[in-house]
Structure formats: structure tokens, C-alpha cells
Structure 1
Amino acid sequence: MKNTLNTAFLSNNGEYTFFKFRDRVITFLTGKRLEKYTKILEWDNGYIVVLCKNKNEDNLEEDYIDLLPILDNLYIEPEEFLAPIKEVEVRYD
């Protein structure tokens, strides 16, 4: 079984995106077109490149999420929060 101690998880529900790591969930608004995330292409210490499916579109699109300003707005120290994260996966529970 895979050790998920250093894995964060990305998902969405409607316009809201959820970035879950251990016992913390960061929630933020995304575009109204987003249907679901499908695959993480790159994780670079707070910067995520992700494939997503948008409503009324057949092709997957590449999108970008920068967590640094989101964490700053929540008064979460980005370096401390992000340091233990080694990978990010798309997961819908």
C-alpha cells in the first residue's frame, strides 16, 4: 500500500476546489466551467499544472493553480505548509 503521508489531494465540487493535506483542507473558488480535475501533470512546491475537464467541452485542458497567494491570504506560512508535500494526486472521495 502506498504511503500517503506526504501526498496532497486535489478535487472539486462545482466551483469550489479542495486541496487536502493531512488534516488541513484549503478551499477556494475556481471557474464556473470546471467539471473535474483529471490528472496532475506537475507539482512544483505550491504550483500545480493539472489536466481538467470543462463543461460542454470534449477535450481536456491544461490549467494552472498557484497556491502561494491563496496560502498568504489565509495567513498560512507557505514554506512550512508546503515543505512536506512530495506529490499531489487527484482524488474524489
Structure 2
Amino acid sequence: MNLWDKERWNNRFRSISTKMIVSYSILLIVPLSTLGYFAYVKSSTSMEADMRTHSSKVLGQTAFLMDEYFAHIENSIQFVSVNQNVIETLKTSKGTPIIQII
């Protein structure tokens, strides 16, 4: 007997049990696939929105910290520029290199 005999396969697919298994499989696979697709789309959209929110918060915090850092540097430069000790040291050491002063 040949496994690929057409009559044998036709008889097998004519049985009610095979038809029920195929139909129930289709009835299960189609809704589950649809549900899986929509769950994927919803979760990826949600993750994208969360990522955008988090990224904007991180960028805002980074900008704030950089502003604070540069404000600190500016204050330090202003402090050094008005400090009388620094000004007097620079006036008296016109001909000597700065490295020798320190």
C-alpha cells in the first residue's frame, strides 16, 4: 500500500473526526493569532510612548545638570577674577611664568 494513495487520503479527510479537528483548529488559531497581533501592536505602542516620556525626562535632567555645572564654573571664574589675592599675585609676577607662582 502506498502512503500517498489519493483514495486513502480522500477517505481520511471525509471522516467527521478529521473535519472536526481541522475546523476546531481553524476556530482556535484564527482568533488566537488575531489576539496575539493586537496585543503585540498595543504593547509596542505603549512601550514606544513610555520610551519617549522617559527620554524627554532624561534629556531635561541632563540639561538641568549641565546648566548647574556651567553655572558653578562661571561662579568659580568670577570668584577668581575678583579675588584680591589672585589679582595681586598676577600683578607682582608679570615676568614669571604662572607655573612658578603655584
Using structure 2 for the length normalisation, give the TM-score: 0.16
Q: Which has the higher strand share?
A: 1
Q: Which has the higher helix share?
A: 2
Task: Decide which structure has the larger Cα Rg and report it.
Answer: 2
Using structure 1 for the length normalisation, give the TM-score: 0.18
Structure with the bigger RCO (C-alpha within 8 Å, sep 6+) is: 1
